[in-house]
Amino acid sequence: MSEQLLREILHKVSNIESDQQSMKSEMLSMKPEMQSMRSDMQAMKSEIQAIKETQGLMQSQLDETNTIVRAIRDRQEETDAKLDALSMDVHQLRGDFVRLKEGQERYEKILEKLSLRSIEQETDISALWRAK
């Protein structure tokens, strides 16, 4: 029985050794795959870093663009205010012009009446001189 037990133990030890060899073989075959995975991970890290740098550059350009847009908007508001002021000045000048034109028309009518009256008076004076 002891010999039988030894054989079983020997058989089990042989199986364990065989399993260990198989595992070693599998581990050795996994090493290149792991190396490949490490290489892929390193490439991915590089790509991620490049993406982060690009994103940082894009963010700074976006900030600059926003600053420019705000400056343009502020200038546009200033321009709109100036345009409104000019528009009000034009309306005021137009009103002044209309009032001046109306005044000129009144003065022209008065001048016309005075001219007619002056002509009538000259006619009357001439008639009086002739009648003398």
Q: What is the pLDDT along the chain (132 residues), one digit of tens a residue?
A: 688 888 888 888 888 988 899 899 888 888 889 999 999 999 999 999 999 999 999 999 999 999 999 999 999 999 999 999 999 999 999 999 999 999 999 999 999 999 999 999 999 899 888 887
Q: What is the pLDDT of residue 1?
A: 63
- Domain around 77: 60-132
Examine residue 101 and state whether it is found in any structural domain, yes or no: yes
Examine residue 29 and state whether it is found in any structural domain, yes or no: no
What distance in Å separates the CA atoms of residue 34 and residue 52, rounded to the nearest whole number? Answer: 26
Examine residue 50 and state whether it is found in any structural domain, yes or no: no
Examine residue 20 and state whether it is found in any structural domain, yes or no: no
What distance in Å separates the CA atoms of residue 34 and residue 37, rounded to the nearest whole number? Answer: 5
Examine residue 95 and state whether it is found in any structural domain, yes or no: yes
Examine residue 6 and state whether it is found in any structural domain, yes or no: no
With b for 16 or more beta-carbon neighbours within 10 A and e for fewer, the 49-79 pattern comes to eeeeeeeeeeeeeeeeeeeeeeeeeeeeeee
Domain count, the chain: 1
Among 118, 99, 98, 122, residue whose Cα is nearest residue 110: 118
